[in-house]
Amino acid sequence: MSPMKAMLFAIPLAVTTLLAPTASAQQPIVIKFSHVVAIDTPKGKGAERFKQLAEERTKGRVKVEVYPNSSLFKDGEEMEALQLGSVQMLAPSLAKFGPLGVREFEVFDLPFMFDDYAQLHKVTEGPVGQMLFKKLDSKGIVGLAYWDNGLKVMSANKPLRMPDDMRGLKMRIQSSKVLGDQMRAVGAIPQVMAFSEVYQAMQTGVVDGSENTPSNMFTQKHHEVQKYTTVTNHGYIGYAVIANKKFWDALPADIRTTLEGAMNDATKYANEIAQKENDDALEGIRKSGKSEVIVLTDTQKAAWKKAMLPVHKENEARVGKDTLQEVYKQTGFKP
């Protein structure tokens, strides 16, 4: 072997020997964190913040891989992926827990239940929030935190001012019995569809409109294919940040504690920015000039509320009378 060739063999060998022991002794614990919205949203930013804090504070012993925008799993698929251990963390919207069999979560889908974040936090940070997380245990899931998004608006290609304007419209919803009832209450036809498919469905006329938060709509560019966006504030979208229970319980105790701390701080951050993210997104929709933003008068808003409120009673048994009463008590809601 020529001296030159010998050197070429020797170098990679030396490098491998040098790195191998360190790499195997210090393989980081990998957390795949999948979600369905854009990075530039309250949830997207919260996930990035958690990654940053978790990696810094565990000094690289944990690596968090965030997969935004349904790049790994669509909503509807991600819950099973978590239970099977294909991903370790998710932050599904609260509406996604009804189909899992924990129907009490659908209390969050009830129309006009929450006026603002303060009311909502009384529920998520109180006994109901704890009770709901307990119910996830038997599903192999551990609840880590509640993250805010915001109040929902409606979009369509016609101006929606009164509930009657919804009559006959095919409206995309998340898979939730309560959300279906809410759309039927105003004469619309609910269409369950994955979040990642909504833009195209709007563009091709498969659906006429949808409900979502301004931040979700703006970052998916729904305003480009919806001529009107009405600020109905008729419902709330927020998240439960969850982990695969087996994975979480098997973490070294010091790592788990550090991750819990990182989650607390990421939660504070995500909940602090949620309102502004949605305000900015609504302003972005308005400024785009592509979708006219309609603000309802008090009379119009009262008409939407009146039309949708029967959905509470219809779903009382489903979400559980006790849960519903407790939520009413916390929020001061008068049915």
Q: Which residues are at the interface with ligand LMR (CB under 6 A)?
A: 36-37, 75, 93, 149, 174, 195, 212, 216, 237
Instruction: Name the residue nearer to ligand LMR (CB basis): 124 or 174.
Output: 174
Q: How far is CA 172 from the centre of its chain?
A: 16
Least distance to ligand LMR from the beta carbon of 11, Å? Answer: 49
Least distance to ligand LMR from the beta carbon of 75, Å? Answer: 5
Least distance to ligand LMR from the beta carbon of 28, Å? Answer: 27
Instruction: Name the residue nearer to ligand LMR (CB basis): 75 or 326.
Output: 75
Least distance to ligand LMR from the beta carbon of 334, Å? Answer: 28
Least distance to ligand LMR from the beta carbon of 237, Å? Answer: 5
Q: How many helices (H) and strands (E) does the chain have?
A: 14, 11
| Long-range CB contact pairs, 303-307, < 8 A, 24+ | 303/162, 303/163, 304/112, 304/162, 304/163, 304/186, 304/232, 304/234, 305/111, 305/112, 305/234, 307/163, 307/185, 307/186
DSSP 59-98: TTSEEEEEE-TTSS--TTTHHHHHHHTS-SEE--BGGGGT
Least distance to ligand LMR from the beta carbon of 306, Å? Answer: 25
Least distance to ligand LMR from the beta carbon of 70, Å? Answer: 9
Instruction: Name the residue nearer to ligand LMR (CB basis): 88 or 220.
Output: 220
Q: Are 243 and 141 in contact (CB under 8 A)?
A: yes
Least distance to ligand LMR from the beta carbon of 251, Å? Answer: 25
Give the DSSP letter of residue 163: G
Instruction: Name the residue nearer to ligand LMR (CB basis): 37 or 153.
Output: 37
Instruction: Name the residue nearer to ligand LMR (CB basis): 277 or 326.
Output: 277
Would you state the structure tokens that stand for residue 70, as one six-digit string? 């349904």
Q: Are 244 and 82 in contact (CB under 8 A)?
A: yes
Least distance to ligand LMR from the beta carbon of 135, Å? Answer: 20
Instruction: Name the residue nearer to ligand LMR (CB basis): 62 or 241.
Output: 241
Q: Which of 88, 235, 122, 114 is nearest to 176 (CA)?
A: 235
Instruction: Name the residue nearer to ligand LMR (CB basis): 58 or 93.
Output: 93
Q: Are 113 and 235 in contact (CB under 8 A)?
A: yes
Instruction: Name the residue nearer to ligand LMR (CB basis): 133 or 195.
Output: 195
Instruction: Name the residue nearer to ligand LMR (CB basis): 62 or 79.
Output: 79
Q: Which of 95, 67, 73 is nearest to 211 (CA)?
A: 95
CB proximity list for 77: less than 8 A, separation 6 or greater: none
Burial-class residue 146 by CB neighbours within 10 Å (0-12, 13-18, 19+).
buried
